[in-house]
Structures are given as C-alpha cells and as structure tokens.
C-alpha cells in the first residue's frame, strides 16, 4: 500500500489520464464535467488499488479503471438506484457547489468542493457522479427518436490492452523481447528468426512458447 502522500501525488500527477479518457466520450449525450467527475472516481480507485510490485506502470493499470467508471454512466440506461441518505448528501453537495461557484465566479473543482464539504476526493466525486441525470438509451424528440450512441464497446478498450501488452513486453529479457518483436511485430517465420538470432528453429519454437506463457501470466495477474 502507498502512503497518503504518495497516493495524493499519484492522483495529482495523473489527472491528465482522466482528461484523456473523458475526451474520448465527448458528444455522447453526457456533459464533459460529468465524464470528468466519473473519471476522477476511477483514478482514485486506481491509486488505491495500484501495486507497483506487479511490474506494470500506473497508467497501464489506471486507464481501464478510469474507462470503467466513465462507462458506468452509460450502462443500465443511465439509471442508478440512490439511497435516501445518499440523496440527502447529494442535495447538500450540490447546494454547496452552487454557493462556492457564486463565491469563486466559476465552477469549483472536485478538490475545492471536497475541502468545502470536508470529504475525501473519492466521496465528493462519487456524490457528483450519482447526481447526474439518467441517460436514455432510446433518445428523445431532439434526437428524432433515434438511439443514442452508447460507447459500451468503445475502441478505447484497445488502448488499455495495447498499453498492458507493451508494458509486459518491456519486462522481458532482451532475447525474449527480440523473439516476440521478430515473430509478431515483423511477422517473420521461426526459421528466419532463428537465422537472425543465430539459434536453431527448435530453440526458437521452445523459447517462443515459454515467453508467451510468461507474458500470459503477467497479463492475467
């Protein structure tokens, strides 16, 4: 577990990841501020669950978590069951947010509102996310009855997968990495790969299988 200071530093230094992920969902029927708030929840959860000893960079671990929180807005028709106690907290948070906006002259950040409410960033972001209106899956009059473009299986999934794969390859030994690059990035045969690395085809086959198994284990951890 990271210290509270390190945790705060990780969150502050990686807020750009939230903007990057949220920008992918612009124009999908949800305000950007709401997307950003949901992404902040994901970033905080990622900071709390990150384990550097597993060999992955924080961004590799955090991107899927952030995307997951943002996509939560779009799932189940955008409807979220909120308890009575949560509704009261939301009411207080929105009231304070409005007051703070009048005082500052602009919309307060999540951290500014959290300080005002004496709550953590995670609690504040969750309250703001839960306060968002439901998103209809079937559209409305303004959309001429057409379905909204809900990014449940958005291309951004590939981004996190490629990041994880690249990070895993970087942890391999030099020879293992070279075999993977020659075989799967350059598309060379085992015979040609063996020739380049001055090994036999049998050795390449055995090392390739061993390396792929090693990568699979790292990706599943």
pLDDT digits (tens, 9 = 90+) for 102-117: 888 877 777 788 888 8
DSSP3 helix / strand / coil % (the chain, rounded to 5): 70, 0, 30
Residue 24 to residue 26: CA distance in whole angstroms:
6
pLDDT digits (tens, 9 = 90+) for 115-152: 888 887 767 777 776 665 544 434 444 444 444 443 44
**Band of residue 161 on the pLDDT scale cut at 50, 70, 90:** low
Which phi and psi angles does 81 have, rounded to 5°?
-75, 125
Determine contact, residues 66/17, Cβ cutoff 8 Å.
yes
Residue-level pLDDT at 207 = 92
Top pLDDT among 208 and 12 is at 208
Residue-level pLDDT at 76 = 46
Global pTM exceeds 0.85: no
Determine contact, residues 33/132, Cβ cutoff 8 Å.
no
Top pLDDT among 83 and 89 is at 89
Residue-level pLDDT at 204 = 92
Structural domains in the chain, sorted by start? 1-80+134-152 (1.20.120.1810), 81-128 (1.10.10), 172-220 (1.10.10)
Residue-level pLDDT at 127 = 73
């Amino acid at each position: 577990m990271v210290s509270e200071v390190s945790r705060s530093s990780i969150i502050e230094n990686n807020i750009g990841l939230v903007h990057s992920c949220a920008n992918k969902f612009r124009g999908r029927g949800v305000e950007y501020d709401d997307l950003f708030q949901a992404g902040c929840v994901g970033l905080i959860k990622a900071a709390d669950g990150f384990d550097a000893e597993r060999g992955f960079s924080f961004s590799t671990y955090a991107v899927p978590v952030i995307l997951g929180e943002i996509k939560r807005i779009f799932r189940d028709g955008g409807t979220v069951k909120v308890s009575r106690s949560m509704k009261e907290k939301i009411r207080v948070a929105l009231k304070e947010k409005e007051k703070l906006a009048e005082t500052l002259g602009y919309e307060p950040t999540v951290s500014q509102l959290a300080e005002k409410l004496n709550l953590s960033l995670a609690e504040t972001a969750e309250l703001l996310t839960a306060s968002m209106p439901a998103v209809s899956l079937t559209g409305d009059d303004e959309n001429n009855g057409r379905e909204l473009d809900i990014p449940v299986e958005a291309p951004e999934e590939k981004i996190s997968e490629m990041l994880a794969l690249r990070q895993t390859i970087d942890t391999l030994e030099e020879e293992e990495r070279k075999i993977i690059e020659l075989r799967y990035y350059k598309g060379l045969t085992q015979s040609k790969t063996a020739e380049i690395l001055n090994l036999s085809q049998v050795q390449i086959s055995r090392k390739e299988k061993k390396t792929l198994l090693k990568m699979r284990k790292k990706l599943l951890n």
